[in-house]
Amino acid sequence: MVFGPDVAALSGDGVELCGSPEQVRDRVSGLEDERHPRWTWWAAAGDGRALVAHGIRPQRCWDVAEAHRVLAGGWAAGADRAWAVAAGLDVEALPRPAGGDLFDLVTTDDAGDPDSAVRPDGYLRPEALEPTWLTGPERALSLARAALQTSSRQRELLAQGGPRPVGTATSESAAALLCIELELDGLPLDRSRAEELITAAAGERPRSEEHARQLRRERDAAVLAHAPGRESTDLRNPVQVRELLASVGVVVPDTRAWRLEPYRGVHPLVDALLAWRKAERIATTYGWTWLDTHVGPDDRLRGGWTACDGAAGRMTAQNGLHNLPTPLRPAVAAHPGHVLVRADLGQIEPRVLAAVSGDRAFAEATRAADLYAPVAQALGVERAVAKVAVLAAMYGQTSGAAGEALKDLQRTYPVAMAYLERAYAEGLAGRAVRTFGGRRVPMWQLPPGLPASAVGAATAARGRFARNAVIQGAAAELFKAWVATLRLAVRDLGAEVVLCLHDEVLLHVPEEAAGEVAHLVDEVLTASARRWTGSSAVQFVADTSVIARWSDAKA
């Protein structure tokens, strides 16, 4: 489907239609009710949003942009690029949209049928990406056909990588649609509780600009009182703060919190500064302005969502949805008549490692509710040591106390460790890696002028990135497969997904459906994990609770 401002079109499966967006939307709605087809669109942010904004929430879709991101990696996924890759055309030679200069005027004489989205040379017309190009129904129809054609070529290309990448593309597509819903629905908030928490952390709501400045001065004064003679220091200027600290005998290379932590006892200024920083964070980033800007009159916090970041493919969110400080979390609360069902995946990354590497011994450890217990036993070390070693192996950490246990890990779980080493080596060499689900993760190339002395560190950083990407990326794939299925499974109960946080999901649920939704969360996880891994060898576990506020469950 293609939705423009004035025209829209539908093509495929014996249906071909173009007309006004209203007409096409009605038909989409009817078809969705009849047989919920897998709708194909260039990107959820365009056509998916056009439906969701009008109350149509399709079950299944194929998002050409997301499929392209799986296939090619990286973030760029415009229709022209996705079309070119699917068609096997050179993306380096992608025609550029007309800039309105003379050169463009001269070279547009071979443009072929002006109402076709495809040029005679096989590339998608770059101007067809602009909504303004959709001046008539023929053009919309042509663009819709092109989207459908792209999707079937993408399917073929993905299928060359085995059965999984096609599945990855469908769940990524669903995640992208969910992102639109998350953005429009928002996260339920208890406004008065939010106001209390902001007041406690950042002070009362400023009544004017002058009042705001005064409050700021008061906050600053509490710190500067510890440094007589240096009251003019700007606490927001790291250089000045460093000088301030030096004046009381605290000499540090930078003023980051973890660096200052050991000096808490040395001088009361340090303590005051660190407390000030926490308050300042809430005052500037999650304070009154944030509340007024991002929380609607319906007491919902809204921000943009993306289905995959540019690196390994985790979801991202804006406006604090992904980094709300813990002290503010009590403000996230179910609205009247509802509860929150919260679930987080326990020890997701090592479990994912067991699945993607196919290490049988490590998979055996996932049968335990606490994976580190059997690992510790196998290595003959304390649980804490086993945990640090496993995490160090996955993240490429070399400092710290993991050294000896890492050797034992190699010996006990050679298949899993080899999987990580392999990714590390690929990254080191600058070659792209693929996640278990088939997402290509491109590797950046080192800048040509890089001094020889810096090359080692730079390639090692790339190796660590690759090593982490195959784990983090695969975990993101499983998570999205889970949540995409959950989205549909709970829908008839009136429940909706309202937050996704890498390994954690929050659902807003009518009170009476709480028990059933909580049950479905676990059931769907087992089914999704089985489908994703292709077996039941690796167990995934969710910690699920029914709560009123986000903070009611342990973090």
Partner DNA sequence: GATTTCACGTA
Partner DNA sequence: CGTACGTGAAATCC
Q: Is 56 in the site for DNA (CB under 7 A)?
A: no
| Orientation of helix 414-429 relative to helix 452-489, angle to 10° | 120
Q: Is 254 in the site for DNA (CB under 7 A)?
A: yes
Distance of alpha carbon 473 from alpha carbon 313, whole angstroms: 5
Q: Is 452 in the site for DNA (CB under 7 A)?
A: no
Q: x/- contact string, 7-36, with DNA (CB under 7 A)?
A: ------------------------------
Nearer to DNA, 311 or 432 (CB): 311
Task: Give the β-pairing of 60-63 and 38-41.
Answer: parallel
Closest alpha carbon to 174 in 535, 432, 491: 491
**Which amino acid is it at 12?**
G
Nearer to DNA, 460 or 488 (CB): 460
Number of residues that bind DNA (CB under 7 A): 57
Nearer to DNA, 154 or 319 (CB): 319
Distance of alpha carbon 386 from alpha carbon 375, whole angstroms: 6
Q: Is 501 in the site for DNA (CB under 7 A)?
A: yes
Distance of alpha carbon 149 from alpha carbon 166, whole angstroms: 16
Distance of alpha carbon 302 from alpha carbon 320, whole angstroms: 9
Q: Is 160 in the site for DNA (CB under 7 A)?
A: no
Nearer to DNA, 143 or 348 (CB): 348
Segment interacting with DNA, rule: CB under 7 A, options 174-182, 229-237, 412-420, 492-500: 229-237
Q: Least distance (Å) from DNA to the CB of residue 205? A: 16
Nearer to DNA, 132 or 453 (CB): 453
| Orientation of helix 414-429 relative to helix 383-395, angle to 10° | 30
Q: Least distance (Å) from DNA to the CB of residue 135? A: 30
Strand partners, 346: 541
Distance of alpha carbon 512 from alpha carbon 403, whole angstroms: 52
- Phi first, then psi: what are they for 320, rounded to 5°? 90, 0
Which residues from 336-395 bind DNA, rule CB under 7 A? Answer: 344, 395
Distance of alpha carbon 132 from alpha carbon 5, whole angstroms: 8
Q: What does the block give as tokens for 303? A: 């921000």
DSSP codes joined into one string, 533-555: HSSSSS--EEEEEEESBGGGS--
- Whole-angstrom Cα Rg for the chain: 27
Looking at 36, 207, 211, 236, which residue binds DNA (CB under 7 A)? 236
Looking at 326, 447, 448, 449, which residue binds DNA (CB under 7 A)? 326
Nearer to DNA, 149 or 344 (CB): 344
Segment interacting with DNA, rule: CB under 7 A, options 92-100, 321-329, 506-514, 518-526: 321-329
Q: Least distance (Å) from DNA to the CB of residue 371? A: 16
DSSP state of 333: B
Which residues from 393-412 bind DNA, rule CB under 7 A? Answer: 395-400
- The contact set with DNA (CB under 7 A) reads 234, 236-239, 241-242, 254-258, 274, 277-278, 281, 284-285, 290, 303, 306, 309-312, 314, 316-320, 322-326, 344, 395-400, 456-457, 460-461, 464-465, 468-469, 472, 501-504, 555
